Structure 1
Amino acid sequence: MAILDVSIVNVAAPTMRADLGASGSGLQLVISGYTIAYAMLLITGARLGGLLGYRRLFLIGLVVFTAASLMCGLAPSTALLIAFRLLQGAGAALMVPQVLSLIQITFEGASRARALGVYATVISVAAVVGQVLGGLLVTADLFGTSWRPVFLVNVPIGLVLLVAGARLLPSAHVPREHGLDLPGLVTLSLAVSLLVVPLVLGHEEDWPLWGWISMGASAVAFAAFLLVERRARHPLVPGRLIRTPGMVAAASGIFLVMAAYGGYLFSMALHLQGGLGDSPLRAGCLFIPAAGAFGLTSLNWKRLPARLHRPMIVAAAVLTAAGQLALAAALAGGGHGEPLLEISFAVIGTGMAGTFSPLMAVALAQVAPSDAADASGLTAMMLQLGQVVGVAAFGTLFLSLTPSAHAITVTVLGLAATSLAAGLCALPLLRRRVPAP
């Protein structure tokens, strides 16, 4: 549900904009507000799971997420919808890290890599279900409710999962003595907010001076966070976790892959529905090749010989960029450019999975069970924060260039550059001292 709630809203975004009279920045905050709260609280949610129990925190997060979904579906204005999306993101931040923590303490070695492959496949299934289900629900306009069912659909699912989770989730738990790092949480949240908010609002406000000052201040806030962490008794990101072989390279690569992913979904949804006039359903269905390829690759990359796993990460990043260049060529003529559009979508999905899934395995391969919660929080935060920055940066780029016919082409070229940067981040993983996933 947490991943689905990003993609399902992407498809419904143009309808919400028309129904609520939302500005471009307001629309981006509806989408990014969820992932901002989600990303900022993930490490804290993971730490709370280590302190209080993974199953308990999963169920608490599920209650918050489900209740917030109901409020989003009933929201009468853009401002309230943004507020409820922030609450929904907080619920997801309590819920999602517990999944990775349970995988880490339950599985080891090859079985852990397989479990993480299934985890990545679930992400891709959620992406395609979100795109198609969003299109179906918006097109159906059930009882004249327009976009609202894209949030309300979470309510019955959440209630069923509460009952099932209480009965079926394992109670396995590695107790932690670490407390919460509130100064670290505050400074990190401030740093990210100072960066993301002007990126989201800059286009609509014609890039005011305060936006540039805010982005400059974000660098100072990030430096303050590093100082706070060095002196913290229970830092959000323990030093030994950062020193884990391959962790920094893998986490950086995950951030860039997900930035490209978030920007790709957001800008393409706006272009297909706004620029090309597709219905939400048709726009959603066009993403099926990408999500299907992502899922198949996530499930099967381990079948390759182990010696190819690390080089595959870099090769897959290059493949993603090639798919994005093909997409730019397909869209350059002003139409859909079919069938090159669907082919490029499938190539992009294959490349992103071949980069993301092994990077996740590398990031968690050498983490001790006692550090499972912190590692889950860090990797999940980089995943979600990447999406926030991707939606903000590439959404701003696309909206700034619209209505130019080249808006989507330039945006996709930027996505290709980001994918190549993810491959560069993965180059240190080719060293033999970094364990293979």
Structure 2
Amino acid sequence: MTAQTLTADNLRSISTRRPGHRREPQRLTSLGTLVLLLGAFLPMLDFFIVNVALPTIDSTLHASTPMLELVVAGYGVAFAVSLVVGGRLGDAMGRRRMFMIGMLGFTLTSLLCGIAPSIGVLVAARILQGVSAAMLQPQVLATFQATLEGQARSRAIGMYAATGGIAVVLGQLLGGVLLNADLAGSSWRPIFLVNVPFGIAGLLLARRVVPTSRSPHPAAVDIPGTALLAAAIVTLLVPLTEGPALHWPVWSWLVLATAPVFAAAFVTVERRAERRGTTPLVPPSLVRLATVRHGLVLAVPFFLGFGAFMFVFALTVQDGLHHDALGSGLAITPMAVAFFTGSLLAARLYERFGTRLLAAGFALQALGLVGLLTVIGDQWPHVSLVALAPGLAVAGFGQSLGLGALFRTVLAGVPQRLAGIGSGVLVTVQQGSVALGVASLGTLFVSLSAHNMRTAFLVVVGIQAGFAVLLALASPRRAAAPSVDVVVEAA
């Protein structure tokens, strides 16, 4: 099979083939959509719910600081490394089948995390949980792409964006509630065990309400590309996560120096694979599509700043303003409510304003973050959580609009036959950037907060506000082209 470069001309030619032929996708019901969204919600929730529990895990399992960081980083790295493979396997084996396999694995590994007798077992279970999540989550967007059309697809993608954002924000709130409840003296364990009943329910329902779909031309797993991508992500995130806790030993610098080497080798291997006529893990011609390339460039700083903010805000409220885990979760509620509200409006607003919604959302996010900086700067250390609410609400609303438009911008250029690969690439960038944000800006915050937490918050959140301003300036100012849905439907 020869490789086909995915240019605009190619896509237009696809839409003209066999004019009388149109493949009707299986119907995805509202219940099926909810089950798929559950599969997106649980992995995202689990990335952040553990943050508020780390001190308690330390006291019960007597973990070292590097091992505690691996509880977070092990999950995130395994998740990011395996996502594209999960999308490729869904294309080949069937997305519903891989969704169920991923849900089963995620449920079992959540149970293992909840009953882990030692920190070593917990870290190992978290790594396996990340791999299971990577098998599960890419099937959600890929199924939406394959089984929905027009406004129904746009609404589903909007709900996906809302689900992800709410999961990230509510992770800390739910974690605080469960820790404070201390159910039957179980301490931190319910933050993992809560996944089990939802996972079982999702597994039972998926067979009945999620339609089957797969790529008409599934590609084999790109083993060299997968190995090099994994090496690039691991050698970047592990030193950034573990290096500060270990005072940057020589090995951390040596490993970090290999990350760009692996990244360059990955790009070279993928280009050669496509020239040979095989389908690489991340087709370079897919990334060269204008909507995909531009969207991914915007996604990296957005998710990097978002991941860092959630980490920094929780530590600031608990360690700086001296609230407990539940108070930290309640403090973020205005952002959650505003994010959810904005996500419900994003689909309709995108239909009207197109990619211009990106700039509007990022500008509102910047405005909200500046409001937070002003309150922290003026009122520290006697900061009322109520005083933080307006800035959080404006930032959350802006993030929801920007995120909803960002997902639509990236996925608009992905043909149906590459739905699994496209969604896998997008979520890999999302999870990798979130983890990188925690590892880089989170590390900067911890270092600065040892001297002055107010200054640490102002610096790190100021950097995120700067990202938001740059994103608003760099966002396209044109309406979305409606022809992409037609092309995808006719492919």
TM-score (norm: length of structure 1) = 0.94
2:191 to 124, 143, 150: 150
Distance 2:240 2:183 in 1: 35
CA contact (8 A) 1:286 1:342 kept: yes
Distance 1:157 1:122 in 2: 15
Alignment correspondent of 1:359: 406
CA contact (8 A) 1:306 1:436 kept: no
Distance 1:301 1:436 in 2: 20
Alignment correspondent of 2:35: none
1:270 maps to amino acid: L
Q: 1:100 to 1:306 in 2, by over 3 A?
A: closer
1:324 to 350, 357, 369: 369
1:44 Cα deviation (Å)? 0.3
Alignment correspondent of 1:308: 353
Mapping 1:155-234, distance limit 5 Å? 155-232=196-273, 233-234=278-279
Distance 1:307 1:144 in 2: 52
1:327 Cα deviation (Å)? 1.6
1:138 Cα deviation (Å)? 0.3
Give the stretch that moved more between structures: 18-27 or 172-181.
18-27
Alignment correspondent of 1:400: 447
2:97 maps to amino acid: R
Q: 1:247 to 1:283 in 2, by over 3 A?
A: same
2:158 pairs with 1:117: yes
CA contact (8 A) 2:87 2:424 kept: yes
2:119 pairs with 1:70: no
> Match of 1:246, SS?
helix
CA contact (8 A) 2:101 2:135 kept: yes
2:394 pairs with 1:369: no
1:82-131 CA deviation, whole Å, 9 max, x = no partner? 21111101001000100101100122333322111111122233234423
2:282 to 208, 220, 237: 237
CA contact (8 A) 1:362 1:436 kept: no
Aligned-residue CA RMSD (Å): 2.1
CA contact (8 A) 1:66 1:154 kept: yes
2:324 pairs with 1:276: no
Alignment correspondent of 1:260: 305
2:381 to 309, 334, 339: 334
CA contact (8 A) 2:335 2:396 kept: yes
Q: What residue ranges of structure 2 are gaps of 5+ in the alignment?
A: 1-41, 485-491
Distance 2:350 2:432 in 1: 32
1:431 Cα deviation (Å)? 5.5
2:439 maps to amino acid: A
Q: 1:352 to 1:278 in 2, by over 3 A?
A: same
CA contact (8 A) 1:128 1:292 kept: no
Q: 1:57 to 1:271 in 2, by over 3 A?
A: same
2:437 pairs with 1:385: no
1:284-341 CA deviation, whole Å, 9 max, x = no partner? 1111111111111111023337463322212321221222222222223124344331
2:110 maps to amino acid: S
CA contact (8 A) 2:92 2:214 kept: no
Q: 1:62 to 1:326 in 2, by over 3 A?
A: same
Q: 1:134 to 1:352 in 2, by over 3 A?
A: same
1:139 Cα deviation (Å)? 0.3
TM-score (norm: length of structure 2) = 0.84
Q: 1:248 to 1:372 in 2, by over 3 A?
A: same
Bigger-Rg structure (1/2): 2
Percent of pairs with identical residues: 39
1:348 Cα deviation (Å)? 1.6
2:136 maps to amino acid: M
Q: 1:136 to 1:436 in 2, by over 3 A?
A: farther
Alignment correspondent of 2:488: none
1:376-407 CA deviation, whole Å, 9 max, x = no partner? 11111111111111111122111112232322
2:142 pairs with 1:97: no
Q: What residue ranges of structure 1 are gaps of 5+ in the alignment?
A: none
